[in-house]
Amino acid sequence: MTSETSEIRPAVVFDNVSKAFGSKQILRDISFAVPAGRALCILGRSGTGKSVTLKLLMSLIKPDHGKIWVEGDEITRLNEAGLSKVRRKMGFLFQDAALFDSLTLYENLALPLHRLTTKSQDEIDATIDNVLSQVGLAGDKQKMPVSLSGGMRKRAGLARALVLEPRILLADEPSSGLDRITAAEIDELLIRQKTQHQTTVMVVTHDVHGARSVGDLFAVFDKGSLAAFGAAAEVEQSENETARRLISEY
């Protein structure tokens, strides 16, 4: 990690990270840093390694070479116990919300609190009520996932990602399958999480319109490489044609 990177105290750093599956090179020498409390939107066409980047950050898979830091911890060197502590800092909003269909919304949120915290039952109830209020589902905690609309499921998935009060929020295609109005509501929730709670947000998305609303920084992936990185105005001036076109498609 360079002295410049250390000075800005980023929440996340990728340093020359590469990943291949068999003979297929997915990521090639990816380097970027995300300052704490800022939002990075990762753009690129399908198959360019966007979701793989989030999986590497969660240590669900390991890079072939390169280093990754999360709030100063080099996770590529940690054992499983150390990785578990780092993962506790992160919440993940999956494309499909990742809810247990056999549990109520309340039970879905209570499960990680019972397993991973020492909160009392009253504290768990208060935490769940607070998170559901944040995402606009205060009156729905006894509903089953099957009874929730697509937008409500996304909100429920976000609530589950936030229930452990993560310092870093990862979202994989948060507006996928949603109409524009509902997608904008999800975008607003991500913005609120960043501005009101100083959460670092990383979003993988094909929705450039939403990305322009949420993101402070943008990383554009092209054929496994980082084609451009920076604020929207910087990406718009990139030498890479794919990056210029993607950031402007809204």
**What pLDDT, on a 0 to 100 scale, did the predictor assign at position 227?**
94
Length of the chain: 250
Using CA atoms of 48, 50, 53, 58 in order, give the dihedral in degrees to the nearest 10. Answer: -140
**This prediction's pTM:** 0.90
| pLDDT confidence bin for 176, thresholds 50/70/90 | confident
Domain segments of the chain as ranges: 100-165
Q: Is the pLDDT of residue 165 over 90?
A: yes
Closest CA to 14 of 1, 36, 27, 32: 32
**What pLDDT, on a 0 to 100 scale, did the predictor assign at position 189?**
92
**What pLDDT, on a 0 to 100 scale, did the predictor assign at position 7?**
54
Q: Is the pLDDT of residue 99 over 70?
A: yes
DSSP-assigned states of every residue in 157-221: HHHHHHTT--SEEEEESTTTT--HHHHHHHHHHHHHHHHHH--EEEEE-S-HHHHHHH-SEEEEE
Specify the 3-state DSSP secondary structure of 228.
Answer: strand
Closest CA to 14 of 172, 229, 194, 213: 229
- By DSSP bridging, strand 200-204 and strand 39-44 are parallel
pLDDT, tens only, 141-153: 999 999 999 889 9
Distance CA 173, CA 179 (A): 13
pLDDT, tens only, 193-203: 999 999 999 99
